[in-house]
Amino acid sequence: MLEEIENILKEWGPQIEKEIENSIPKKGVPGINDVVWYHIGTGGKRLRPVLAIMTGKALGCDVEKILPFAAACEVLHNWLLVHDDIQDGDEVRRGQPAVWKKYGLDHGINVGDFMSEKVYELILKSLERGVDEKTTIKLLDEIVKTSLRTAEGQAMEFELRKNNKPTEEEYIRMVVHKTAHYLTAPMVGAVVVANATQETIDKIREFGMKIGPAFQISDDLLDLTTGKGREDIGSDIREGKRSMMVVHCANNCSPEEKNQLFDILNKPRNETTKEDVLSVKNLFEKTGSMSYSQEQANKYMQESKDVISDMPDELRQLLENFAEYIVNRQR
């Protein structure tokens, strides 16, 4: 899958970039255009636009028609990160100062807002590529719903961080809201542009609701293994996130260990030491929470594959590869 993603990026990456740049020129209002491109320039996998393009191609759709929506998905992903970093107090993004840290809180919020509106401007550009009004409205509606669920998921996560008795059910509900919808939107959008049947759209959405938790649980694990490119592992622990491991561990350790766990999670992030992170990681290993989480990620991946088992070969193969990539990626 990595190779396929890279091939798509090689072929269409510059077009995605150009699509974004046409909408947000690199020069413009100081404190806006420069800031957007500072953030976009920090990198990222461009997973979402690639996913939209791949899905469209698998359905035989003209990629040019999908490009505005694909670019919109990348802008959506990026503005969510800009606001997310403020909300989580993350000072570093992709090895560089987060937008709010570099340009100030006021610009950080404002640039995220600006980008969130550009998402809609980009989708409206589909009309210039021969996507009809009805379909464009469907795309807009998809992004509205996705963004609303994502915001609800964010709120659920903030609330969950204050919760010392998090259940797996609460965790999954939060993850489906926060992660699944906006990982699914690029695929659904491509299917909509390709004019596929409602059944296909529903199936893709069902697939996404499984692949979302698989993605997030893998992400939870990566935070303690590769550290996702950050200098230190355990950023989630410093932030007090209720990860899949936290939920499992809290329900499988002694009362003393549980107190210790939440004492560390609930500390202000700048007071959390490396030793704290390691002691939590050791506890996760003792309670088998890391391997349990890996099993759960695999379980959701398997379920996602079951959903699409009777889809046309090319699309099914793509989605299967994607599902495996999600769970096996290293960053």
Residues lying near a second copy in the complex (CB under 8 A): 28-32, 83, 86-88, 104-107, 109-114, 116-118, 120-121, 124, 127, 133-134, 136-137, 140-141, 144-145, 147-148, 151-152, 154-156, 158-159
Q: Is 116 or 218 the residue whose CB approaches a second copy more closely?
A: 116
SS3 267: coil
Q: Is 80 or 214 the residue whose CB approaches a second copy more closely?
A: 80
Q: Is 2 or 29 the residue whose CB approaches a second copy more closely?
A: 29
Report the C-alpha dihedral over residues 133, 191, 72, 300, rounded to 10 degrees: 150
Q: Closest by alpha carbon to 250, among 178, 170, 177, 174?
A: 170
Q: Is 193 or 283 the residue whose CB approaches a second copy more closely?
A: 193
For residues 213 and 180, the answer to whether their CB atoms sit within 8 Å is yes
Q: Is 209 or 326 the residue whose CB approaches a second copy more closely?
A: 209
Min dist CB 22 to a second copy, Å, is 14
Min dist CB 141 to a second copy, Å, is 6
What backbone phi and psi angles, to 5 degrees, belong to 93?
-135, 125
Q: Closest by alpha carbon to 207, among 311, 295, 69, 135?
A: 311
How far is CA 169 from its chain centroid? 20
For residues 182 and 154, the answer to whether their CB atoms sit within 8 Å is no
Min dist CB 171 to a second copy, Å, is 15
Q: Closest by alpha carbon to 39, among 74, 7, 82, 88?
A: 82
Min dist CB 323 to a second copy, Å, is 28
Min dist CB 232 to a second copy, Å, is 22
Which residue shows structure tokens 């697939």? 207
